[in-house]
Every structure is written in C-alpha cells, then in structure tokens.
Amino acid sequence: MTTAPGLVSEPAPSLFPPRGELEAQQEKAKPAVLRCDSLTRAFNMRLEQVSRVSRAVVDPSLPLWSSATLGDSVCLQEGGTSVSRLAEAGWGHALLDRWLRHGVTSVMLQVEEGHDMFVGVVGSNFLPSASEWDAPLSDSRHAVVVHTRTGKVFHKGAPSLLALPLPMDQAKVLRRQFPKEAHKAAPRCVVRRGSIVRLIIDMVNHELTLELLSSPEETADVQSSVVIDGLPLEVGVAVSLGAGKQRVRIMGLTGVNDDFRPRIPPKMLSDLWDDDHVIKPLRISRSRQSRELADRLQHSLELIKTAQECNI
C-alpha cells in the first residue's frame, strides 16, 4: 500500500474491542444475566400456576411435574400429570412443583412404563447444581433415592445397606424357577410396569418411607417398604429416568394422619427430665462423735460472744 508524501498510514480500526475491555463488559453484565435467569424461572413457575387453574380436568390441589426442572429428553404429558423419556442412553430428571418443609405428606406415583429409574427426593440445593442433571440421582449429594429395578437405596451420593425388598409373590416365583441358592443371583425387578409407589415424606423425623402398594387405594396392602432417614431440611419429589421408554404418573398428594406416622417405641428406662423421675434428698447421718464436736464448737462460740459483750 502506497501513501502520498507527508501522510502517515494508520492501522485499520478493529471490529472487536480489546480483550481487557471485553472481559470487563462481561463481568459488568453478570448481575443482569443472573437477574434475567431468575426472572425467567419465576415466569415459568407463574405460567405453571396459571395453566393449572385454567385446566378444569386437573384437580388444582394435585401437584404437577415442573416444566422448569426437566432433564435431557424428558417431556410432560397429560397436562403435567405424567412425565416420560425415550432415549437410547443417559439420564433425565423431573421434579414436582412443590417443596416440603413441614409435616407429613404422602405422594402416590404409578410407573406406567419402564423399570430402570430412580425414585425419591432431592434437597433444594439440587437446583443450582447444573452439572448433576446429566448424571443419575444416585450420584447426587443432594438426593435420597431408590433404584426401581434392584431396590437399592442411595443416600446423598453413596450406596446404602438398605434396600427395597422384593415383593413376596415375586420372591416365590423366583424360588420356584431357580432352586436352592440360585434365586439370589437371578435377575430381579422390584418395581415393575404398573406398580404403585407411595412416598411418605415425614419432615418431623426427616424420614422417607417408600412403599409398594397392591392398588391405588389409600387402604391398599403394602407389598414391600423401606424407611430411610437423614433427609435434607427441604425436599422435593424427583424421578431420574434412564434409557429406553420410561413413564411415571402422579396420582395424588395428601396429608398423612397420625396412624401412618412412625411410632416411638415405649421407653424402658426413665430419664432425668421425666416428671415422675424424682430424686429424694440424701439423708445425712450424724455420728455421736460429730455431734459432740459440734456441741463443743457451739459452746466455744457462745463463750466468745459473752466475753465480747462483757469486754473481757
């Protein structure tokens, strides 16, 4: 490029701002981005509330699967009462739109399709952990779940010694098909297609009771159950759907009466804070020698007092 004599060529202006200025602008825009994300989540929750009221076929008191907390390949069906996933691999999560902090609540679910999933609860700290949405809930430090196929319990990211037992009728079939000890290693599926799962969430004792019922009725027979303690302070019902065709439907949410609450076993020993636990004062037995010593001391004190009064 040639320039006229006496003229100095200037570099062409850059289309992009300097790197330091760009980073400063990004840092300055972070609060606005976080505020926008918060408003988006609030708008989605409000939209769900409006859609809930507008649907006459859905009971307004019935919780729905939240559209704001859906994982990979997970979609809502039947107005939010059902959640499904169809994928070749991976995991996708779904949460109900209600969080529980007080009292005792019973949530009833029906597994309509599939058996490779996790069912349980997650703490409120699960939401900001975006990295956990691609992994099964068994790996999450904020989840307490049960694997429906094996019945294994996972407590805050670690396997537990607890497990949901195989229903008695299925166990009998396995014993007939696999004699002796072979039935223990046989393939098993605790929660099958069409199974009714009831979660009793006791936030008084921070316990989760997961039960397999014979029918959707509240008075149905319990075929299998497991009790897990150590729940977070605030929990929400969650499912983690695996590969294949998976589908779960919410059937109801009710408060549980006192008959369903875990009973505290009667105490065998009294405690110090019991009203009927009274400790009688100890008797002080004075010997003859101690009484004589006390009398002499009292006599000496009287003599000193008399001498002081008489100025002796």
SS3 at position 26: helix
Q: 175 and 189 in contact (C-beta within 8 Å)? A: no
For 39-43, 45-49, 122-126, 191-195, which range has the lowest pLDDT when averaged over its residues? Answer: 45-49
pLDDT tens track for 252-304: 888 754 444 444 444 454 555 555 556 666 565 556 667 777 788 888 888 77
Length of the chain as a residue count: 312
pLDDT tens track for 190-225: 888 888 999 999 999 999 999 998 888 877 888 889
Whole-angstrom Cα distance, residue 153 to residue 121?
A: 12
The first and second tokens of residue 169, run together, are 């009728």
CATH architecture of 61-257: Sandwich (2.60)
pLDDT tens track for 97-142: 888 988 999 999 999 998 889 999 999 888 755 556 778 899 988 8
Rounded to two decimals, the pTM is 0.61
Q: Among 106, 94, 118, which Cα is nearest to 62's?
A: 106
Q: Residue ranges of the domains in the chain?
A: 31-60, 61-257
